[in-house]
Amino acid sequence: MGSSGFPPLRAVLFDRDGTLVHDVPYNGDPARVRTMPYAREALAELRARGIATGVLSNQSGIGRGILTVEQVSAVNHRVEELLGPFDVWDFCPHLPEDGCGCRKPAPGMIINACRRLGIDTAAAAYVGDIGSDVAAAEAAGSRAVLVPTPVTLAAEVEAAPRVAAHLGAALEMLLSPIDRPAGSPLSGAGL
C-alpha cells in the first residue's frame, strides 16, 4: 500500500465528455469531437508507464432515442483516433430513472472495467468532470479526481477528494508518491 492507503496505480479510467473531449450534448457526429487540453500528453505518459487506460461514459441519449449505439461507437472510434488506443471502453445506455447499476454515480462500469483489466478497483483511478464521476469512483473503492469545467457545480468541487485544474495536473497528482488532496500546491500544476 502507498502512503495514500491505495495500492500502486495500475489503471486510470476516464469519463469521455467534458473530460477527454469537449462536451457536445448527445453527440453522434465524430466530426464534432475535439480533445481537451493535456489529454494526449496525459494518456501518452500513462501508456509509457504501462498503466492501463479506459473510457467509461453515461450515454443516456441511446435510451432517450436521440442516439444509436452505432453513433456512440463512431464517436468513441474518433476519440481513439485522436487520443490513441484504450484498454477498455464501456458506456451506459440507460436513462437516469432506469435504476441500473452501470450509470454513474453507480460504480458498475468501474467495477466491470477493473474486472476486465484483472485488477482490484483500489488500483484504479477515475477522472471526470462532475460529481457523479467522483461518486462512482468512491463507490467502487477507486481514487477519484475531479477536473472541473464550467458545468461543474461549486459544491461538487468542494466535495471532491482531489481536484485538478486540467488532465495534466490530474495525472501529476495520481502519479505522485504522495496522494495530494484537493487544494494542494501541485493540484493546478502542469505535467
Catalytic sites, residue numbers: 15, 17
C-alpha angle 5/139/37, rounded to 5°? 80
Burial 178-189 (b: 16+ CB within 10 A, else e): ebbebebeebee
Per 3-state DSSP, what percentage of the chain is helix, strand, and coil (rounded to 5)?
A: 40, 15, 45
Place of cell 482531489: 162
Report which DSSP code applies to 150: T
Strands 88-92 and 52-58: parallel
DSSP conformational letter for 21: B
Query: What angle do the packed helices 108-117 and 131-140 form, to 10 degrees?
Result: 50
